[in-house]
Structure 1
Amino acid sequence: MLINLSKEAKQGMKEEIISFFYQERDEEIGEIAAEAVLDFCLEKLGPYIYNEGIQDAIKLISERNTNTEDDLHSLKRPLYR
């Protein structure tokens, strides 16, 4: 697993999974099953979500660099010959 979660975060996610199964599927699952679902999601879906986050960061940095480049060009002084 690429993601290291704090105990508190992992516990909160497991509680959300348990709640989801109960509310949406009318199933009661325990901590072990919830942890298995969490591990599966992190392993199989995590890389897709992570890569989308990276792509969003690339886009944001690219836009900021373009803005910075435009700002720098606006500071140029005219040349007289």
Structure 2
Amino acid sequence: MKELKLSPERRQRLIEQVQTMFARDFDENLSAFRAGELVDRMTALIGPGVYNQAVEDVRAHLQGRLDDFSGEVFVDDPA
């Protein structure tokens, strides 16, 4: 199975968003370390399911496009 890995920039943005959310919604200030732990755990917990759903959505979309492929490029042969 493919390991989900966030880029350092994306992970940092998520850490900042978690810190903002906790301060706003729960009146609790999280250190960057604690927010990073939450990001890492949530990525490990829900990331695979979200990733798999995205792959399935793309597969279904591409399959629909392939199913319609003949209609798009087929040319009637008059012979």
TM bucket, shorter chain: 0.7 to 0.9
Equivalent residue runs for 1:24-35 within 5 Å: 24-35=25-36
The Cα of 1:62 is off from its aligned counterpart by 0.8
Can you give the 5+ residue segments of structure 2 that lack an aligned partner in the other structure? Answer: none
* Structure 1 ranges of 4+ moved more than 6 A: none
What is aligned with 1:63?
64
CA distance in 1, matches of 2:49, 2:20: 24
TM-score, normalisation: structure 2: 0.86
CA-atom RMSD in angstroms? 1.6
Is contact 2:19-2:32 (8 Å) kept?
A: yes
Q: Paired residue for 1:76?
A: 76
> Which letter maps to 2:26?
R
Match of residue 40 from structure 1: 41
When Rg is computed on C-alpha atoms for both structures, the one with the higher figure is 1
Identical-pair percentage: 22
TM-score of the two chains, using structure 1 as the length reference: 0.84
